Amino acid sequence: MLTLTDVTWLNICLVGVGVYVAKQVLIKKNPAPYPPGPAGWPLVGNVSDMPRIKPCLRFTEWGKKYGDITHVQVLGQHIIVLNSVKTAMEMLDSKSAIYSDRPVFPMGGELVGFKDALPFLPYGDRFRRYRKNLHRAIGSRAAVDEYRQIGEIETRRFLRRVLAKPNQLQEHVRHTTGAVILRISYGYEVKENSDPFVGLADRAMDGISQATTPGAFMVDILPLLAKVPAWFPGAGFQRIAREWRETLEEMVSAPHKLVKDQMAAGIAPISFTSNLLEDCAVSAEEDHIVKWSAFSLYGGGTDTTVSAIYSFFLAMTLFPDLQKKAQAEIDAVVGPDRLPSFADRDSLPYIEALVKEVLRWNVVSPTGFPHRATEDDDHDGYYIPKGSMVLPNIWFMLNDQRIYANPSQFNPERFLTNDGKEPEIDPRTICFGFGRRICPGLHLADASIWISTAMSLAVFDISKVVENGVEIIPEFEPSLGSISHPKPFKCSIKPRSATALGLIRQDANY
């Protein structure tokens, strides 16, 4: 990985791009000023200002200093950072016709190969065909209701795995989330232990998270570095990209081929992929769209859901009083003789509020995915030039004191009506993105997080671990990457009662 302090590389790059950057100097007067931002250097602009570690925090500093819209320029590329929900909605929602494109991602998109996945597609016909496929399967609550049984069965299995091996919580969360989406996407039922597709998908999604972190790779700032051979000193990113690309290609192709082979043999279960392959005369182009649509369904719904569910267990470890409130509601509404189901959702407002607070507290995608302006825009008196990269600082939006009281405090009750006070803004209107690029799997992710939360609280007490008489307090320290996960932590997970133990041990297909 290249660093911004590598003087040798910077000199080489400046020679190669000097002429290009010089052409970016304005030869005509802008119709309005750029949004405010840190002053840059001649030619290179704000190269040294772009953060590589936790960019959301640097963007937040800019927002507090310069306002809701910040502008920087890196080697001719205009970058606009949005630091308020209001501005993000005004631009990315209300003006979605010009803010729905994606920039080119040299590392993650081109070198690793994620350019064919839905989040990376430019706005156009192929993007709309992907979205149409996904909307039909999971684009509404009604559509997701078709998969309620899968979610409930797999979550019951999750409870049994946690009971058997509570110290492998993160692995169980990944396994269960993967099981739900692999079943929907490909009709594939995962193996109980060390499933190859689950492991493969985990590696692929870890690659995408690292490859798309803003500023993590110099090639994203200087795209011409993509032409540098892997053997050249400092070009280790080429080797990393090759490894991630091989994992990605296997993850995209292997389950797709499995479905096609099963269809040829007449034994394919009904799934997202089999339905699409049956519904059309499968040209090479259509096969490509089906294959990548299915991967986009998997990729868009697993990593974020894993992060949120793992965050829930961390929150319950840290805030036992809130856990007791949630369990009291389940006990009163559902009772001790059965597990909660989706049919109980409307009757469990505190559980609903708890899920919302988990999504706000650990922001799964801190800086969202960048949008690209396809036309010049004048917004709020500022000039946004065509081709600008627009980054919504979702982390700050969900920690903004203007809309969330005491945002550093974990408080589900902020989303309940108390003493006539209106609930605070639902984080699900923010954390899943904006405009026409909003996450198409948001309803499936929301359902998976809710059922895991409700069932786990019904049967488990989650608490801090005690070692040698000392209570271990986990730290809330999210990992780096475009997808944020809590770092691994220890917690104690035990059945609440003998009755709860019996519910956990029930046949998962019950």
pLDDT for 453 equals 98
* Residue with the two structure tokens 């009750």: 413
The per-residue pLDDT for range 198-231, each reduced to its tens digit, is: 888 878 888 877 887 766 788 887 888 888 888 8
**What does DSSP assign to residue 334?**
T
Query: What pLDDT score does 509 carry?
Result: 58
Nearest to 398 by CA among 360, 435, 362, 428: 360
Tell me what the mean pLDDT of segment 60-86 comes to.
Answer: 94
Eight-state DSSP code of residue 189: P
Kindly write down the DSSP assignment for every residue of 413-429, as one continuous string: GGGS-BTTBPPPPPTHH
Q: Which residue has the tokens 């606009």?
A: 80
- If pLDDT is split at 50, 70 and 90, which confidence band does 250 have? very high
One-letter amino acid for residue 484 of the chain: S
Q: How far is CA 405 from the centre of its chain?
A: 25
Residue with tokens 């499936």: 444
Q: How open is the CA angle 329-331-337, to the nearest 5 degrees?
A: 150
- What gap in Å lies between CA 68 and CA 90, rounded to an integer? 12
Q: What's the mean pLDDT when you consider all of the chain?
A: 88
- Per-residue pLDDT tens for 280-324? 567 888 899 999 999 988 776 677 899 999 999 999 999 999 999
Q: Give the residue from 411, 416, 404, 432 showing the smallest Cα distance to 348.
A: 416
Query: How does DSSP classify residue 41?
Result: B
DSSP conformation class of 497:
S
pLDDT digits (tens, 9 = 90+) for 21-43: 444 444 457 889 999 999 988 88
* pLDDT surpassing 70 at residue 342: yes
Note whether 272 and 294 are within 8 A (CB): yes
Task: Tell me how far apart the alpha carbons of residues 118 and 289 are, in angstroms, rounded to a whole number.
Answer: 10
Q: 70 vs 94, 119, 233, 318, 343, CA distance in Å?
A: 19, 24, 35, 35, 45
Residue 226 corresponds to which tokens in the numbers above?
């993509």
The answer to the question of whether 431 is labelled as a binding residue is no
Q: Among the residues of 223-302, which ranges form H helices?
A: 236-265, 272-279, 284-301
Give residue-wise pLDDT tens across range 459-508. 999 999 999 889 999 988 877 667 788 999 999 999 999 999 999 998 75
Q: Which residue's entry shows tokens 């990376």?
A: 120
Q: And the tokens for 203?
A: 């590696």
The model carries a pTM of 0.88
Place of tokens 């706005």: 123
Residues 6+ apart with CB under 8 A from 111: 219, 226, 237, 238, 241, 245
Give the lowest-confidence range in 102-111, 199-208, 258-267: 199-208
The runs of H, that is alpha helices, within 334-425 are 349-361, 394-397
User: What percentage of the chain carries pLDDT values higher than 70?
Assistant: 92
What CATH code would you report for 7-505?
1.10.630.10
Grouping H, G, I as helix, E, B as strand and the rest as coil, residue 366 is: coil
- The ranges assigned to domains in the chain are 7-505
Q: Is 351 left (phi over 0), alpha (psi -120 to 50) or beta?
A: alpha
C-alpha dist (Å) from residue 459 to 149, 201, 339, 420: 19, 29, 8, 33
Residue 97 burial (CB count, 10 A): 11
Residue 331, pLDDT > 70, answer yes
